[in-house]
Structure 1
Amino acid sequence: MSFAALRPHLKPTISLAYPVVLSQLGHVLVNVCDSVMVGQTGKVPLAAVSLGVSVNTMVMVMGMGLSMAITPLVAAADGQRDVRQLGRLLGSGVWLCAVAGLVLGATGLLIAPLLKYLGQPAEVVALAAPWIRVIFLSLLPLMVFQGFRQFAEGLGLTRQAMYLSIMANVVNAGLCYLLIFGHFGAPQMGMMGSAWATVAARILMALLMGAYVLRAARLQPYRTAVPSWFRPDWTTLRRLMGLGTPIGVQMMFEMGAFSFSAIMIGWLGATSLAAHQIAINVASVTYMAASGIAAAATIRVGNLRGLNDAFGARQAGLAAYLLAFLFMATMGLLLVAARFYIPHFYNHDPAVVAQAATLLLIAAAFQVSDGLQVVGLGALRGLEDVKVPSVVALLAYWVVALPLGYTLGFVFEMGNVGVWLGLLLGLTLVAGVLLWRFRQHSTVVAAPPAVLAGN
């Protein structure tokens, strides 16, 4: 596909993507802020946050996946100008997210006592368990935020979530500073302060995003079309769950692989786990930026599919691929250049810094693969193709990447480097298969308009 054919899709994709990129970064920067500040208190608290984030992520992404079903369906209905369907999606989507948030949040109480069976250092488990109980409380407001946000983004309204994410990060950083270190008369709570700061920031995000959707004049027709806020439209709910469950499962397989890799690295001790947290924290920043491009791909592909423009949907997806490639290649080069400097923002232990620098080199190597696989997922969601990517994620991460990582890390005694090399292979496999899948699934039956005119 020529660059000239993709050029008309680049600007609208960028316009949609950059607010989503900043909004997505808002989610991960909460963890970055927590890790940077907690890391100043020692490598054991930093390792405990790594374990807690890993466990929380495995559960959280299931809910995030459910919420992501809202966007392509809203984009398609918006392309068809179906106001009644948009109303059903708004009411049922928020209802589904709120219920999911309650269920997922309650699992924190069940998971925390099980940490001692994961083979982690005892001092790490002692700090991580109470942190998990608190951080899971933030899943309900986070899911409510997601319900309103994904609806707005499906309509192409991406800036509001961006502004709220930026504001929430400022609030989170300020509360972390106060509560972790006990400044200005606040209680000195250590790493627990970061958990309570996250809860407060996410409650604020949910309230303000909900207020925007429920009060904005431009969204009034869709609010009026909501059948009920307390009882979903069951046909719409089944469609959301049918699309969202495979997305959540795929995300759980992917993020679960990274979370389980943290558990394996925890068997090597607190130093290796702290180094892993630094590297995965940095890699998650670039990943979430690429996932913003993926969200734009979902919106563009879904909207053009709703307009029955199959050729345009394919071009939009390929344009997103190009943007992700350019962005992630640049990020890879930056990580190579800064790998010895970045760890010092988190912790000054020489062993932690040295290991983190090595892992950042591997992270640089998988930047392009990571970006292409997440954009592939976004483009395929726009086509409502979600089941095959779940199978691909299961096989690539759990059948190939993790066993290989364990073999390299523990049998060949390569440590955390071996585990990360397994993840590198898994990401590369997924990226290649999803690119092939999108090219096959978006094959245009009819020739593009210019070709037809030429005939």
Structure 2
Amino acid sequence: MESSLPVERKSFRFAKIVMPILITQVALYLVTFFDILMTGRYNTYHLAGVTIGSSFWVPVYTGLAGILMALTPIIAQHVGARRNEHVRPSVQQGIYVSVALAAVVFGLILFVFFPIIRTMSLETPVSIVAIDYLKGMSVGLAPLFAYTVLRSFFDALGSTRVSMFIILISAPINVLLNYLLIYGHFGFPELGGAGAGYASGITYWIVFAIAGVVAVAGKPYQKYELLHHWQLPSWPYWKEILFIGVPIGMSIFIETSIFSVVTLLMSSYSTEVISAHQVALNFTSLLYMIPLSISMGATILVGQSIGAGQSSDARKYSLLGISFAVIFSFIGIAILLGFREPIASLYTTDKSIITLAAQFFIFAALFQLSDAVQAPIQGALRGYKDVNITFLMGFISLWVIGLPVGYAAATYTGLGPYGYWVGLIAGLTVGAIALSIRLRVVQKRHDLSI
């Protein structure tokens, strides 16, 4: 790790790390987009089934996969401290944890999600498709979680372009499999919405296979000998992964699930309002890929700096992450305010939905800045391995402050559905301020420990 890089070189290094992460995140977003688009063109019932199935899948998967993100700061600090001999057992134990998490998710799907879907007030075809879609996704559970471990390994080493190339290769494969399995072309079974699930499950195996070959045979990674001296499960490694990873996973879960809850609370409004809300939420989710990618880059570079005992560099990378995110947030605000109706028109031709979505975009613009500050600070704190207080602050800001404020604003003021977005703005703002204070405390503590 270079300790004497000037700020200009640090900025270039940060951008070099973040750009592949951003491309990877956008590619993953587009995979989901094509799943919905291609299923929607097949049949409305199948689209509804896939939507219901994914609403169960996404928060649980992202939350539990977030546990494995603990490996990024763990490995990054080993690399920064030149403790390369600890990388191999960390990856091997991460694989064990990933298999255990896959088993947990499979159990949830089988014994919790399926019964809930069967008891929901859904039309029978929709219920069947939702269950079959989750069955298809289950085919790829183990490789998906195992790939998350290998991605954390690549990212911790700063090799974020590897994950980018793997996803760019796999995304067209997923679209091709969708084409074959949803519509039944070239002699393949016509599975409709369930085909999207099986296509994703098969794609996850392909992704894991490619990542595995690169991790074992790639020249930069051979020195880590990931397949050599394979260990049995070791509780000390599991303890470290879970101690850091569980708060990360829970933080991600509460962040993703809050939007699902807000959507459910808005179900009392008209279909047009709900659709407009979804349009605004979908586009802002795309914009969020930028601060999210910067956050992941901050975790890598701060973790490597701390591992190398370079507290000053960790501070500088934290500041760079916040600065980059804030700059891009102003660009996002300008896009949302300047092109509200054209953006909404990309999703629908319904004039009433376009008008409502344009109003939602005003509120979406207001929380861009808070989101831009909060995300990289979370990433920096993860690089310091400071995750428990971060989780608690996230929970309080969104669930204790944001949701009640949103409900009160929507119920007792003239804001109506926009009140929920006011609550999100309030919660994210409080979270950004609290996390900023926490980062300063953690940085001072590390300065004193050197």
TM-score range, shorter chain: 0.7 to 0.9
Aligned residue in 1 for 2:234: 233
Paired AA for residue 137 in structure 2: I
Aligned residue in 2 for 1:103: 104
CA distance in 1, matches of 2:44, 2:344: 12
Q: Aligned pair 1:426/2:437, yes or no?
A: no
- In structure 2, relative to structure 1, the CA distance for the partners of 1:46 and 1:249 (3 Å cut) is same
- In structure 2, relative to structure 1, the CA distance for the partners of 1:287 and 1:47 (3 Å cut) is farther
CA distance in 2, matches of 1:299, 1:219: 17
Which one of the candidate residues 200, 203, 206 is aligned to 1:201?
203
Aligned residue in 1 for 2:214: 212
Higher RCO (CA 8 Å, separation ≥ 6 residues): 1
Aligned residue in 2 for 1:262: 263
CA distance in 1, matches of 2:210, 2:175: 18
State the Cα RMSD in Å. Answer: 3.0
Which one of the candidate residues 144, 147, 151 is aligned to 1:142?
144
Q: Does structure 2 retain, via aligned residues, the 8 Å contact 1:88–1:233? A: no
- In structure 2, relative to structure 1, the CA distance for the partners of 1:381 and 1:398 (3 Å cut) is same
Q: Aligned pair 1:151/2:148, yes or no?
A: no
Paired AA for residue 149 in structure 2: G
Aligned residue in 2 for 1:451: none
Could you tell me which runs of 5 or more consecutive residues in structure 2 were left unpaired when the two chains were aligned: none
Which one of the candidate residues 154, 163, 166 is aligned to 1:164?
166
CA distance in 1, matches of 2:270, 2:33: 21
* Equivalences for residues 350-361 of structure 1 within 5 A: 350-361=351-362
Any idea what the Cα deviations from partners look like across 1:8-34, whole Å, max 9, x if unmatched?
Answer: 421111111111111222322222222
- In structure 2, relative to structure 1, the CA distance for the partners of 1:247 and 1:445 (3 Å cut) is closer
- In structure 2, relative to structure 1, the CA distance for the partners of 1:412 and 1:184 (3 Å cut) is farther
SS at match of 1:442: helix
Any idea what the Cα deviations from partners look like across 1:212-254, whole Å, max 9, x if unmatched?
Answer: 112223222222585425x233212211111101111111111
* Equivalences for residues 371-390 of structure 1 within 5 A: 371-390=372-391
Paired AA for residue 367 in structure 1: Q
Q: Does structure 2 retain, via aligned residues, the 8 Å contact 1:105–1:140? A: no
Identify which range, 333-342 or 58-67, moves more after superposition.
333-342
Any idea what the Cα deviations from partners look like across 1:134-173, whole Å, max 9, x if unmatched?
Answer: 4354443221110111011111111111011112222223
Paired AA for residue 338 in structure 2: A
Q: Aligned pair 1:290/2:322, yes or no?
A: no
Any idea what the Cα deviations from partners look like across 1:400-420, whole Å, max 9, x if unmatched?
Answer: 112222333345475542223
Instruction: Give the deviation of 1:275 after TM superposition.
Output: 3.5
SS at match of 1:285: helix
- TM score, norm. by length of structure 2: 0.88
Aligned residue in 2 for 1:176: 178
- In structure 2, relative to structure 1, the CA distance for the partners of 1:395 and 1:159 (3 Å cut) is same
Q: Does structure 1 retain, via aligned residues, the 8 Å contact 2:147–2:211? A: yes
- In structure 2, relative to structure 1, the CA distance for the partners of 1:133 and 1:280 (3 Å cut) is farther
Any idea what the Cα deviations from partners look like across 1:357-390, whole Å, max 9, x if unmatched?
Answer: 3333332322222232121111000001000011
Aligned residue in 2 for 1:435: 436
Instruction: Give the count of matched residue pairs.
Output: 443
- In structure 2, relative to structure 1, the CA distance for the partners of 1:208 and 1:179 (3 Å cut) is same
Paired AA for residue 10 in structure 2: H
Identify which range, 181-190 or 31-40, moves more after superposition.
181-190
Any idea what the Cα deviations from partners look like across 1:315-371, whole Å, max 9, x if unmatched?
Answer: 111111111111222123223333323344444444444433333333232222223
